[in-house]
C-alpha cells in the first residue's frame, strides 16, 4: 500500500515524498483511516513502528480541511520528555510544511521567553510536556477551551514519571467534545484505567511485532565484572568497529563518569540526562546526529525521545531497573526496517535485572564470549535465560488455550 491510498492531501503527500516515504507502516495503515473518520483511538505499538506519523498525518489533514479564523489552540499533544516533544514537533513541522499551520513545542529546563513569544503570535498546534504546559496555563499564556484534538503519546512513560495528576488537570481544561488519541507502548492496569476515563468508544489498534521481526535487532549479552565494563566497551568500539552508538547508563553520575573515561581513551563522547540544561542536551544530540560525536551516553530519560536515522548500535552499559525499559532502549536502533545491534553488559549484581528482562521479553539473549576473565556466572545465566524463555512460551500457550476455550 502507498500513502496515496490513505486519502491524504496533495500537500501532505508532497512533504512525504520529500522525506522519501512511500509505503506506510502497519500502525499508519490502521490508524490513519480511523482518525480521519473522527474516532477516538486506543493504540499500542512497539517503539520504532512509525507511530508519530500515524497520528500527525491525519490530524494535519483534518485541521487543514476545516477553515478556522480563530488563533486558538486546536491540537494538543502531550509527551513525557523534552526530547520526545521536540521529535514530535519536528514531525508536525515537516509533514505540514505546505499547510501554513503554526505550532509551538513547550517544555521546561529553558527560558520560557521564546515559547511565550510564539504563543502570543497564535499557534494551532502545541506539543508539550505536562509540567511546563501547566505552568504557562497558570500564567494565562495558554487556553485550551477550543482544542479539537488531544493526543497522549507514551502514556506509560508519563505514568512512570508521575505525570498522571498533571494530565488530569490539563484534560479538565479541554472540551469534552473532542477527538482523543491515546498511545502507550505497554498497557499496565493504571494506563487502561486512564484510557477508559478519557476515550469515547475508541477503536483499539494493537500492533505486535511480526513473527521473526526480533532478528532485525541482533542482541548479544556480555557477562562482565563491573570494573571491566569500560575496558570491554572500548575494545568493542575499536575492534568491531562501532562507528556510532547510543550507550545507556543507569545513573546521571555514571553517564558523566563514562564520558570522561572514554575521553581519556581518545573516544569522543557526550552525555545527555536530566541534570543537563536543554540547550546542552540539544547540542549533544545535534552533534551525535551529525556524527561530530560518535558516542552518546544517556540515562533512560532519552530512551523514547531520541530518533537518529540509521543508528547502528545501542549498548546497555548498565541494565535498566525496569524490564520494559530494555525494549524502549533497543528500539532506538533497527528503525524503519533497518538492521541494528543491541549489546548488553551484565555484572553479577545485575543478574536479577537480566532475569526480569528475559522473562518479560520471552527471549534468551545469546551470551557472547569475550577476551576478559571468564565470568563464572555466565553459564548459570545462560541456563536461567532458557528457563525464562521456556516459562514465557508456556504462559503464552496457556493463554492461547484459554482464549480458544472461551471462544468455543
- Answer with the residue of higher pLDDT: 110 or 198: 198
Unique residue bearing C-alpha cell 498522571: 164
Q: Is the pLDDT of residue 404 over 50?
A: no
**Residue 47 binned pLDDT confidence (cut-offs 50, 70, 90):** low
Give the chain's domain count.
2
What pLDDT is recorded for position 182?
A: 96
pLDDT at 167 over 70: yes
Examine the pLDDT at 385 and tell me if it is beyond 70: no
Residue 190 has pLDDT above 80, yes or no: yes
Cα separation, 77 vs 51, whole angstroms: 13
- The mean pLDDT of 175-189, rounded to a whole number, is 90
Tell whether 145 and 110 lie within a shared domain.
yes
Element (H or E) spanning 57, and its range?
Answer: helix 51-65
| Residue 400 domain flag | no
pLDDT tens digits for 268-308?
999 998 788 878 888 898 899 899 999 999 998 655 567 77
pLDDT band at 405 (very low <50, low <70, confident <90, very high): very low
Let me know whether 182 and 224 are in one domain. no
Mean pLDDT of 248-257: 94
Cell numbers given for 25: 507502516
Examine the domain organization and report whether 230 and 194 are in the same domain.
no
* 337 class by beta-carbon count within 10 Å (0-12 exposed, 13-18 middle, 19+ buried): exposed
Decide if 309 is inside a domain: yes
CA dihedral 258, 264, 266, 272 (to 10 degrees): 30
**Which region among 75-89, 202-216, 250-264 has the lowest average model confidence (pLDDT)?**
202-216
The answer on pLDDT for 388 being more than 90 is no
pLDDT range class, residue 112, cuts 50, 70, 90: very high
Q: Residue 1: pLDDT above 90?
A: no
Residue where a domain stops, chosen among 152, 178, 206 = 206
- Residue 408: inside a domain, yes or no? no
Q: Percentage of the chain with pLDDT > 90?
A: 57
Statement: residue 381 has pLDDT above 90: no
pLDDT for residue 377 is more than 70 = no
Sign of CA dihedral 244, 184, 100, 170: negative
Q: How confident is the model at residue 225 (pLDDT cuts 50, 70, 90)?
A: very high
Residue 95 lies in domain: 3-206
- One domain for residues 167 and 279: no
Residues 37 and 153 in one domain: yes
What per-residue confidence (pLDDT) applies to 282? 82
Beta-bridge partners for 104: 126
The mean-pLDDT minimum among 143-147, 213-217, 344-348 falls in 213-217
Which whole number is the average pLDDT over 93-101? 93
Mean pLDDT of the region 59-68: 88
Average pLDDT over residues 346-361: 91
Residue 271: which region, alpha, beta or left (left: phi > 0; alpha: psi -120 to 50)?
beta
Q: Which residue has the higher pLDDT, 325 or 200?
A: 200
Residue 193 near residue 156 (C-beta atoms within 8 A):
no
Q: Which of 206, 235, 257 is a domain's end point?
A: 206
Higher pLDDT, 242 or 160: 242
CATH code assigned at 363: 3.40.50.300
| Three-class SS state of 142 | coil
The pTM is what?
A: 0.68
Q: Give the model's pLDDT for residue 273.
A: 87
Same domain (yes/no): 220, 139: no
Query: At residue 148, what are phi and psi to the nearest 5 degrees?
Result: -100, -30
Domain endpoint, select from 155, 173, 206: 206
- Average pLDDT (313-327) is 91
Q: How far apart are CA 328 and CA 323, in angstroms?
A: 10
Q: What is the mean pLDDT of the chain?
A: 85
Q: Answer for the pair 269, 294: CB distance below 8 angstroms, yes or no.
A: yes
Amino acid at each position: 500500500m502507498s500513502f496515496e491510498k490513505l486519502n491524504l492531501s496533495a500537500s501532505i503527500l508532497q512533504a512525504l515524498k520529500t522525506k522519501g516515504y512511500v509505503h506506510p507502516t502497519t500502525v499508519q495503515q490502521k490508524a490513519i483511516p480511523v482518525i480521519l473518520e473522527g474516532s477516538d483511538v486506543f493504540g499500542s505499538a512497539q517503539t520504532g513502528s512509525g507511530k508519530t506519523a500515524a497520528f500527525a498525518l491525519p490530524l494535519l489533514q483534518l485541521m487543514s480541511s476545516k477553515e478556522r479564523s480563530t488563533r486558538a489552540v486546536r491540537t494538543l499533544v502531550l509527551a513525557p520528555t523534552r526530547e520526545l516533544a521536540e521529535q514530535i514537533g519536528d514531525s508536525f513541522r515537516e509533514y505540514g510544511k505546505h499547510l501554513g499551520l503554526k505550532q509551538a513545542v513547550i517544555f521546561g529546563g529553558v527560558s520560557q521567553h521564546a515559547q511565550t513569544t510564539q504563543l502570543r503570535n497564535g499557534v494551532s498546534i502545541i506539543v508539550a510536556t505536562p509540567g511546563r504546559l501547566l505552568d504557562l496555563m497558570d500564567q494565562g499564556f495558554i487556553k485550551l477551551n477550543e482544542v479539537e484534538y488531544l493526543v497522549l503519546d507514551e502514556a506509560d512513560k508519563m505514568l512512570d514519571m508521575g505525570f498522571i495528576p498533571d494530565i488530569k488537570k490539563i484534560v479538565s481544561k479541554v472540551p469534552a467534545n473532542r477527538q482523543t488519541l491515546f498511545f502507550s507502548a505497554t498497557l499496565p492496569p493504571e494506563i487502561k484505567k486512564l484510557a477508559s476515563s478519557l476515550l469515547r468508544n475508541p477503536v483499539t489498534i494493537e500492533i505486535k511485532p511480526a513473527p521473526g521481526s526480533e532478528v532485525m535487532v541482533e542482541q548479544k549479552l556480555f557477562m562482565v565484572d563491573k570494573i571491566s565494563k569500560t575496558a570491554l566497551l572500548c575494545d568493542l568500539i575499536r575492534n568491531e568497529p562501532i562507528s556510532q552508538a547510543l550507550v545507556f547508563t543507569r545513573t546521571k553520575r555514571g553517564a558523566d563518569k563514562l564520558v570522561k573515561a572514554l575521553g581519556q581513551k581518545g573516544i569522543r563522547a557526550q552525555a545527555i540526562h536530566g541534570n543537563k540544561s536543554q540547550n546542552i542536551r540539544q547540542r549533544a544530540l545535534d552533534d551525535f546526529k551529525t556524527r561530530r560525536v560518535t558516542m552518546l551516553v544517556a540515562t533512560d530519560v532519552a530512551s523514547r525521545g531520541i530518533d537518529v536515522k540509521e543508528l547502528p548500535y545501542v549498548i546497555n552499559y548498565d541494565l535498566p531497573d525496569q524490564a520494559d525499559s530494555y525494549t524502549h532502549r533497543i528500539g532506538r536502533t533497527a528503525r524503519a526496517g533497518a538492521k541494528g545491534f543491541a549489546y548488553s553488559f551484565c555484572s553479577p549484581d545485575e543478574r536479577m535485572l537480566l532475569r526480569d528482562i528475559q522473562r518479560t521479553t520471552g527471549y534468551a539473549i545469546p551470551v557472547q564470549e569475550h577476551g576478559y576473565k571468564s565470568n563464572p556466572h555466565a553459564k548459570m545465566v545462560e541456563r536461567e535465560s532458557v528457563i525464562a524463555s521456556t516459562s514465557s512460551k508456556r504462559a503464552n500457550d496457556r493463554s492461547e488455550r484459554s482464549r480458544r476455550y472461551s471462544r468455543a
